[in-house]
Amino acid sequence: MYEMVLRCPANVETIELCDLIIDSLASFFVVRDRQALVLSVHEAIINAVEAVRTQFDNDDACHITVSVRITAEEVTILVADAANGLSKQHIESRQEKRLEDVLLEESGRGLLLMRELMDDLWAEPLENGAYAIGMKMRR
């Protein structure tokens, strides 16, 4: 089993860095659908960066955390942010919708896209009472 935790500033460079890292990991460890994994993590990181930058008024001291665990069977990724993440209710409410339901909405498509592309998507409770986005893909 391999585990990695990245704690990065909530900025555009972090989005690009995480894209490169996840793409490399997906290639090296061979996942079921490399492009789907990279896109799903990309969407989660964009959501986290946007939440932090909005809540903390672009404070560069704020961060996001990306945790990756790779086993022989699957890749599990958690994306948490300093803005207390999405509510469990928000994540679960997206479980009931389809992409067509929110196609023209201002936001909300990322979670649906992740749900469609990943083998599992959930709200992971954190110690501070917030929730991280958890996702899993078989290898």
User: In this structure, are residues 75 and 25 in contact, taking their beta carbons and an 8 Å threshold?
Assistant: yes
Residue with more model confidence, 36 or 84: 36
The domains of the chain, with CATH numbers, are: 2-138 (3.30.565.10)
Mapped onto helix, strand or coil, the DSSP state of residue 60 is: coil
Q: Which of 7, 134, 31, 32 is nearest to 82 (CA)?
A: 7
Question: Tell me, what amino acid is at 49?
Answer: V
pLDDT tens per residue, range 62-120: 889 999 999 999 999 999 987 765 555 655 665 666 656 665 566 667 888 898 899 99
The pTM is what? 0.83
Q: Which two tokens stand for residue 56?
A: 């903390």
